[in-house]
Amino acid sequence: MLSQIVSALGVVVVAVFACSAYFYFSNKILDLALPVSDGDVRAASRNLNRRAVIRPWLFLGPALFLLFVYLVYPVVATFILSFYDRSGLQFVGLANYKWAIGDREFRQSIFNNILWLAVVPAACTFFGLVIAVMTDRIWWGNIAKSIVFMPMAISFVGASVIWKFIYEYRGGNDVQIGLLNAIVQLFGGTPEVWISVPFWNNFFLMVILIWIQTGFAMVILSAALRGIPEETIEAAVIDGANGWQIFWRIMVPQVWGTIAVVWTTITILVLKVFDIVLTMTNGQWQTMVLANLMFDWMFRGGGDSGRSAVIAIIIMLAVTPIMIWNVRRANRELKGH
């Protein structure tokens, strides 16, 4: 444990030192390469202009390089790989895409992803907004916010383990230790293996992500709600608006941009959901989603590079329209200001 802490601290120190050294020496070299002398005013002015053009790229250069290496290149390489066989050596054209269209498991994954996209972002945003409004009206609101936000500190795998105990099922005459089955049994119901019930088990898995991400939505939306002018709320109260009308007609329209950001962020997260499904069901009982299917084909039968690449491309294509819409919305807001 101590060695890991020392190693982590060493990495942080070395990284910070390396970044500082890079920026310091690169600026020094730039100043030496383009000197500003008092003797030649025109040359000095020209060099100052050149410095102004080059200096920002000294800061952006490393980030752009890493962006290309870790984002642009993998996307291009994955796209090319999707046209090759399982070994990545023989060109097979659109065969992998035809397989994806005709594969039952792939279609099931698409359906499950659509289901997740329809439920999770909306539920997280709605509950986050409602909790943000309610906790701003009570004296122990900060405590309540801390409790709601706490799951954000838990990893997806850790949260899945917690909820696995909640959904736990014991067969025969064993005592039910799972919270959900214990409640069902208390009211005279029959315990079930909840995560193996087709279709509905997807919702049981979604609850985990909603539990984790509602805190994120609450914090962002709470900050946005506090930016609403008090005069607007007071005017609505004077005009006779009730709490429900103030919420839907005053608060929601004024924080709509923030709601869109929260919804978009959670939507992108849902498209990448992997850990929860892997930990809870490993894709069994019709719970497979695209990220898990891609991972499965990366290692199934020794791995299939072509098919896993196709699934990765489809996930990226699904994310792209959301990103474009978000960027355009941000640009419109900037132009509006």
**What is the residue-wise DSSP string for 60-88?**
HHHHHHHHIIIIIHHHHHHHHHTTB-TTS
pTM value is 0.74
36's CB contacts (< 8 A; 6+ apart) are: 44, 47, 48
168's CB contacts (< 8 A; 6+ apart) are: 176, 177, 178, 181
Q: What is the pLDDT of residues 236-269, one digit of tens each?
A: 777 777 777 777 777 777 788 888 888 888 888 8
SS3 state of residue 265 = helix
Q: In which region does residue 289 sit, left (phi positive, over 0), alpha (psi from -120 to 50) or beta (all else)? A: beta
Q: What is the pLDDT of residues 2-41, one digit of tens each?
A: 788 888 888 888 888 988 888 888 888 888 887 777 666 7
Which option is the CATH number for 96-333: 1.20.1070.10, 1.10.3720.10, 1.10.1380.10, 3.30.70.141?
Answer: 1.10.3720.10
Residue 51 pLDDT > 60, yes or no?
Answer: yes
Q: pLDDT band at residue 336, thresholds of 50, 70 and 90?
A: low
27's CB contacts (< 8 A; 6+ apart) are: 55, 58
286: burial class by Cβ within 10 Å (0-12, 13-18, 19+)? middle
> Which residues of the chain form CATH 1.10.3720.10?
96-333
Q: pLDDT band at residue 330, thresholds of 50, 70 and 90?
A: low
CA-CA-CA-CA dihedral for 82, 86, 92, 97, to nearest 10: -50
CB 315 within 8 A of CB 291: yes
> How many Å apart are CA 19 and CA 8, to the nearest integer?
17
